[in-house]
Structure 1
Amino acid sequence: MTETTAHASAPPAPPTLAAVPPGKVASIVTFLEMHAQPAPLPAPDAPHLSLRHVAAPETGWYRDLFRRIGEDWLWFSRLQMSEAELAAIIGSPDVEVYALSRTQPDGTSIDIGLVDVDFRTEGEAELAFFGLVAGETGSGAGRLMMNLATARAFARPIRRFFVHTCTHDLPAAVGFYRKSGFVPYGRAVEIVDDPRLDGTLRRTAAPHVPIIE
């Protein structure tokens, strides 16, 4: 038996497991990017939906929409920021915030989606946050939002538009981003304090991610 054959027939190495300490949560983060604006994909004709640029977002409004969209996917980062820190980010001229609104039967409207595009790194645009409240995914609303996001990103002279998602997020997220023109280029493991244990998020949030104390 040759050395090459012996190596080829050797059993695979056992998987490596890293323990996650109690009180923390771990996820696999996937990084995706695009370098040119793709053609917009068909979006639904939805006169009851409208996108607006929120030129001067109030922190209370932003936190409320951020929480309504992301609590069950363990979005927490901007809920833990101070008022000054959050206001400086979302009020920056290099951060564009858009809201998707739904017109109700009584004529009132409610915000159901968030698009947050960050240009603070020269030559780059990050899709910092992108999402819909529960019950709105799969309706085509996300396509309206993504068509806007890519158009806004490439309205400036950038080299790349990038986003990341993780295994705490909606399972369809990676497929949606790839269909939209993003290409995966990296992966990492992230371990953070569980935001449900310090009151940042409600304890019952994200039931698909068990709490281990």
Structure 2
Amino acid sequence: MADTKLPETIDVTVTFLEMARPPAQYAPLPYNRQIALLRVRDIPVHYYRYLIDRVGRKWHWVNALRLSDEEMEEGLRKPERDIRVLYVDGAPAGFFDLKTDLPEEVELAYFGLMEHATGQGLGRWFLGSAVAAAWSYEPQKVSVQTCTLDHPAALPLYQKIGFSPIGQKREVVHPMSFAERSAVVMR
């Protein structure tokens, strides 16, 4: 897989969103599927890299992948992390990562489905599960950010479930080549 047309930088608009109270209702669990959502304790660095890569490859999630194993390990071992992996029909299908280190706020730092799990009616339920997990820490607010590189349905879905935009900023993303991404993920 060659990516010779990969730009050196990509300009993006990041939208910051907050939710001040839990949603009145959550989407129901999809039926006729074997679904498991498991909280991961002591996640191996290589598995976290795999999740970030498989969920975020299309959306240029590269910041976490560029961390050294030691830096990533340090972050993953913090007791304020709540990482949950979605399995559909026995296979990994997505994950979310909550940062709970501030008593008044829980950040939904990463959330997404793997490409094979999109378009199956899982997104709204899965996001609701992430939001419910965030509110279980009893914060004053839950925050998330999305950008113009994310799935086009991300921002409308966040808003539909109850997040409100509070600001935007411009950033530059330095995409990873397939070779660079492969080297990092296969460490």
* TM-score after normalising by structure 2: 0.86
Instruction: Count residues in correspondence.
Output: 176
* 2:65 match: 79
More RCO (CA 8 Å, sep 6+): 2
Deviations 1:72-101 (A, max 9, x none): 110111111111211122221111000001
* 2:19 match: 34
Matches within 5 A, 1:14-163: 23-38=8-23, 39-103=25-89, 109-163=90-144
Answer yes or no: is the 8 Å Cα contact 2:33–2:88 preserved in 1. no
* Aligned partner of residue 64 in structure 1, secondary structure: helix
**Which structure features the higher share of strand residues?**
2
Answer yes or no: is the 8 Å Cα contact 2:93–2:113 preserved in 1. yes
Answer yes or no: is the 8 Å Cα contact 2:93–2:116 preserved in 1. no
Q: Unaligned regions of 5+ residues in structure 1, if any?
A: 1-21, 104-108, 203-213
* 2:174 match: 193
Answer yes or no: is the 8 Å Cα contact 1:76–1:201 preserved in 2. no
Q: 1:47 to 1:193 in 2, by over 3 A?
A: closer
Deviations 1:65-124 (A, max 9, x none): 110111111011111111121112222111100000122xxxxx2111111111123311
Distance 2:22 2:32 in 1: 24
Structure 1 runs of 4+ off > 2 angstroms?
A: 192-198
Distance 2:131 2:175 in 1: 32
Answer yes or no: is the 8 Å Cα contact 1:32–1:185 preserved in 2. yes
What is the one-letter code of the residue matched to 1:116? D
Distance 1:42 1:67 in 2: 28
* Aligned partner of residue 78 in structure 1, secondary structure: coil
* Aligned partner of residue 176 in structure 2, secondary structure: coil
Q: 1:37 to 1:111 in 2, by over 3 A?
A: same
Q: What is the CA-CA distance between 1:46 and the residue it aligns to?
A: 4.3
Q: 1:37 to 1:46 in 2, by over 3 A?
A: farther
Q: Unaligned regions of 5+ residues in structure 2, if any?
A: 1-6
Structure with the greater alpha carbon radius of gyration: 1
Answer yes or no: is the 8 Å Cα contact 1:43–1:143 preserved in 2. no
Q: 1:118 to 1:64 in 2, by over 3 A?
A: same
| CA RMSD in angstroms, aligned pairs only | 1.9
Answer yes or no: is the 8 Å Cα contact 1:126–1:161 preserved in 2. yes
Q: What is the CA-CA distance between 1:172 and the residue it aligns to?
A: 0.7
Answer yes or no: is the 8 Å Cα contact 2:26–2:125 preserved in 1. no
Q: What is the CA-CA distance between 1:198 and the residue it aligns to?
A: 8.1
